[in-house]
Each structure stands twice: as structure tokens, then as C-alpha cells.
Amino acid sequence: MPDSPRPFRFGLSLHKRCSREEFVAKCKRATELGIDVLVVPDHLGMPSPFPGALLAAETCDKAKVGTFVLNSGFWNGSLLAREIATAQLMTGGRFELGLGAGYVEAEYQQAGIAFPSRAGRVENLRRAVEVARSDESSPGTLPKPPLLVAGRRDRTLSLAARYADIIGLSTLTDEPAGPGQPAQLRAITAEELDVRVEKVRKVAGDRFPSIELNLMIHHVHPTENRAAAAEELKAIAPQMSGEQRLDAPTGLIGNVAQMAEILRERRDRWGVSYLTVHEQYLDALAPVISELK
């Protein structure tokens, strides 16, 4: 980890379909409130990632823009390389490429693509990383865009640790919470994230200090009563204690000062300095951004 902490960066995930005018207004407001990176996911039923990122760049001429994250199984290598190079050129070097392995089986079915095994999805991601690092993706007069690789399992995190400039540490898992518990998507505890970060640190070796670590925060809950908020979350995280729900890295709970301090503590503990939130939490996060910048 660097001797001095990295400055915070904040990203906003623009996943809601809307008119051009609404999209432009959202981008402008986000950057006015301190958002540094405007990103678009790669899920069916949401805006297309590359056109969305390019419109965000056209709207806000200082912000970084990117994909967060592409489903590698959806993309042919040569076509992906063309998109990467074009996006970097059209944004004047402000594009950040985010890649993931893909996990929603229903989206593959809807797209008419066979759903790969877990190993197959990791292999698709490996190939996409290879494309991103190849000369085919080079925009020529500009450097290749920074590469973010997101994941939650050992093979994906190991791939990210070896090649990514930015690692998106997933705060979710589909592993059972304990013996006899079902395998279903759930939030992880802070202790489980400790394990993921240590895995990345070991595999990255000497690269680790140069890697930026990212978390997607799935809910922001402004409140003066953290204990009551923890109780409200019991229905969706019954396997966690109240303290674990408050500390879970998937969320951010408290008043402005508390939330700012939580993010500082997470940066100290894990080295996480780049935080991304869904667009519906922009207003809740804005005063926290102001506190930290």
C-alpha cells in the first residue's frame, strides 16, 4: 500500500434508461456534486455501455468515463478492440475500461448465447483482458485506457491482480454463509473482504502499491440511528449480526460525518480509494463526497 493514502475518487453508475436530455442532465449534475467517473454497466435492459460512456464524455469534458463492467462473454475480441480504441480516441483519453466475467444466466439466454461454466466465464474474461492489453486495442496517438477488472472469486481476482490497473472488489458472493446454509447471492462481511484483499495482495506482489482498489457500494443509508438501520437490514441479511450489517462493505450507513469516517477507515484497512454507487444514491452520497474532498 502507498505510504500516503490515495485521494478518493467517486464513480456513478448510470443504469437507468432515459431520454438523451435526462441523461445529459444527470451527468452534469453528478459532476457538479463531485463525481469523478461516469460509468455505464453492461446488462440487457439498461443503456448500452459504449454509447452511454461517449455521451457522458461529450457532456462533461473533465470527467473520466467508462464501462462498469463489460460482460466479457458478450464481446467478440476484434470488435471489442475496435470499441476500446475508438472510445479512448473519442473521449480524448478519458476512457476507463471495466471488464467482468458475467454472471446473469438469464441475460445469456435472452441474447441467444450459451451460458458458459464458471471456468468458461473466467476464460472469456482472460481473453478480453488479453485483447485490452494488445496492440489491436491501441488508440495510436494516446495510451491505452486504464483497465479495471472486477470479480469475487479466486481465479478472477488472481487475473485482476496480475494485469489490472484497477481492481473492482465485489462485495457480493453466492457461497453459503455457513454450514447447512443455501448458496444464494448475499452481501459479504468485512472479514470476508479482508480475505479477498489479502489474496490480491499476495498475487500482485510488487505490483500491489500501483493498483487502485474499487468498491461498488450497493446502498447508501443516511441516518442518525445506525442501530435502527442495522435492524431494518436484518430481513435481507439475516445471517449477519447487527454489527456485521453496519460494517458490511456493500453499504454505507450513518450521518455525513460517520459515513465519511467509514470510508476513511475502509481506505486504511483495505486500500480502497475508488468508490462507485448506483445513480439513485447520488444525493445521499453528495455531502459525503464534499466532506472527503
pLDDT digits (tens, 9 = 90+) for 55-93: 999 999 999 999 999 999 999 999 999 999 999 999 999
Write out pLDDT tens, residues 185-227.
889 999 999 999 999 999 999 999 999 999 999 999 999 999 9
Calculate the alpha carbon distances from 82 to 87, 129, 131, 139 in Å.
Answer: 8, 14, 10, 9
- The confidence band for 22, taking pLDDT boundaries of 50, 70 and 90, is very high
- In this predicted structure, what is the pLDDT of residue 185? 81
Distance (Å, rounded) from C-alpha 182 to C-alpha 19? 41
- CA angle, corner 125, sides to 271 and 205, nearest 5? 35
Residue appearing with cell numbers 440487457: 44
Tell me the residue type at 207: R
pLDDT at 237: 82
Count the helices and strands in the chain (H runs, E runs). 11, 13
pLDDT digits 0-9 by tens, 32-43: 999 999 999 999
Distance between CA atoms of residues 232 and 132, nearest Å:
43
Chosen CATH of 9-292 out of 3.20.20.30, 3.60.70.12, 3.40.1010.10, 3.30.465.10: 3.20.20.30
pLDDT digits (tens, 9 = 90+) for 256-275: 999 999 999 999 999 999 99
Render pLDDT for 2-13 as a digit per residue (tens, 0 to 9). Answer: 468 999 999 999
**pLDDT given for residue 104 in this prediction:** 94
| The predicted structure's pLDDT at residue 1 | 47
Q: What's the burial of 186, exposed, middle or buried (CB within 10 Å: 0-12/13-18/19+)?
A: buried
Residues 243 and 211: beta-carbon distance below 8 Å: no
Give 216 or 183, the one with higher predicted confidence.
Answer: 216
Judged against a pLDDT cut of 60, whether residue 278 lies above it is answered with yes
pLDDT at 236: 78
Between the alpha carbon of residue 8 and those of residues 53, 139, 259, 272, 289, the distances in Å are 21, 28, 14, 8, 9
**Which residue ranges make up each domain of the chain?**
9-292
pTM assigned to the model: 0.95
